[in-house]
Amino acid sequence: MEKYQHYINGKWVDSVVKGESIIVYDPATEEAVGEISCAVKDDVDLAVESAKKSYESRILVDMPPMERANLMRKIADELRKVSKEGGKILCLENGKLLPAAEFEFVDAANYFDYYSGLTDKIEGRTIPVNSQVMDYTIYEPYGVSAHIVPWNYPISMLARSLSCAFAAGNSTVVKTAELTPLSTASAFAKAIDNAGVPAGLINIICGYGSGAGNDLTAHKDVSQVSFTGSVKTGKAILHAAAERAIPAVVELGGKSAAVVMPDADLDKVVNAAKGAIFGQAGQICSAMSRVIAHKSIKNELVGKLANLATSLKVGHGSEDGTELTPVISEDQLQKIENFSRSGQQAGASVAAGGNRVDRKGYYFEATVFDDVQPEMTIAQEEIFGPVLSVLEFNDQDEAVDIANGTEFGLAAGVFTKDVNQATKMASQLNGGQIYVNSWFTGSVATPFGGYKQSGYSREKGQEAIKSYLQLKNIGIQL
């Protein structure tokens, strides 16, 4: 079993405390696939100290914008080069499809390419005060930026925030998810190293959230935090950031609804569901976890969705033809089972699935619940598994009320052939992104974030970079 290390100050190193490590398992086989050093407080201190020294050296801050852009494009090139190697590791530790795992490195490269184009466009402005004063603003990085990344898309989500922070001139410390640290500590760090990133600008450690994560967000030399994950953990990070009066970018959970109007193309809904709730075994923050269907087409749609669910091939992410992969862990599998039981006990009907798959690994059947009522737990709480709840509505106002009737607001969608109806409903739905007749229509350039308990920050697009910059005003007496 291969042993992996932290990447601190341009070198791969073990934990300060010898013997501290985390075993990582393949969720498809339940077999160990790697061991990685586990960060304790001293490791966090070393990583933050490395980032702080690199920031204070101003090597990135004073680097000409086009030079910084070139360096970011080198990182992108190296990420593409390690996509095959890194994808294999990510497939094993996460369970996702191998092509999807390889694409995460390509997606990460796209983020670095995109934000490399903004390095020379971070512009202030002049402000008229009077004829005796020259007044202007400039944007500056915060300093040491901490990034706590999730296990479901560990490479893509890391690059999403890291590329932004780097383009803005920050030095960074990354804490990987303890369930999926291997691809980040190996292939991603290798790409950073091969690109010639100066030592200390990007540091990568692995540790538990309750240990290294808490130590990192509470560290006196961390000036800004970025987090993607659960609402509970996100709130804890916001509290820690508030204690020190530092900014935090948080993208949290979701319970996203697709409203299906009577004129909708039902095949489009089914095609969307295949990737949006059954892809990645439903472990997607903006998953299409609720379908709110008009009563006139609901039964037909449920039948189509059930046929899809039962037709999906279950298997390891590296096997050809696999469509439904495992969930990340036994704990997650048990949570999904509990949700499924609660739905049945509350009166929802199982149109497909509803149980764990009878085989080795953490597999749960692609599940479709019918007759779901808005107040049921399965319609209110984020399950983070391949479980779709179908609810019924009579008119558009009721559909909007049901869609908006949770504490979340990450995404939402509408399926209809009437563009006027689509635009009207898009303005009424609570969500940071609204999809029409499809799902996941965005790109690196489109802003992403939530309403309500799904968070208030925005990642991706030009809007995101200002979360990693602070504004300074300068007035000169002439």
| Joined tokens for residue 461 | 């697009």
Q: Given the DSSP bridges, would you call strands 3-4 and 256-260 parallel, antiparallel or unpaired?
A: unpaired
Contact at 8 Å (CB) between 114 and 445? yes
Q: SS3 for 237-286, per residue?
A: HHHHHHHCCCCEEEECCCCEEEEECCCCCHHHHHHHHHHHCCHHHHCCCC
Listing DSSP states for 151-215 in one string gives SSSHHHHHHHHHHHHHHHT-EEEEEE-TTS-HHIIIIIHHHHHHTTPPTTSEEEEE--IIIIIHH
Q: Which residue has the tokens 């804490």?
A: 175
Rounded Cα–Cα distance for residues 163 and 76 (Å): 10
Report phi then psi at 14, rounded to 5.
-80, 170
Rounded Cα–Cα distance for residues 146 and 222 (Å): 7
Rg (CA), the chain: 23
Rounded Cα–Cα distance for residues 372 and 257 (Å): 13
Residue 38 is a catalytic residue: no
* Helix-helix angle 419-428:396-403, to 10 degrees: 40
Closest CA to 220 of 48, 418, 352: 48
Closest CA to 6 of 58, 50, 56: 50
* Burial tier of 471 (Cβ tally within 10 Å: 0-12, 13-18, 19+): exposed
Q: Which of 38, 91, 206, 285 is catalytic?
A: 285
Q: Given the DSSP bridges, would you call strands 367-370 and 411-415 parallel, antiparallel or unpaired?
A: unpaired
Collapsing DSSP states into helix, strand and coil, what is residue 216? helix
Contact at 8 Å (CB) between 460 and 445? yes
Q: Which residue has the tokens 């240990």?
A: 211
Q: Which of 93, 102, 178, 251 is catalytic?
A: 251
Residue 323 is a catalytic residue: no
Q: Given the DSSP bridges, would you call strands 11-13 and 6-8 parallel, antiparallel or unpaired?
A: antiparallel
Q: Give the residue numbers annotated as catalytic, written as ranges.
A: 251, 285
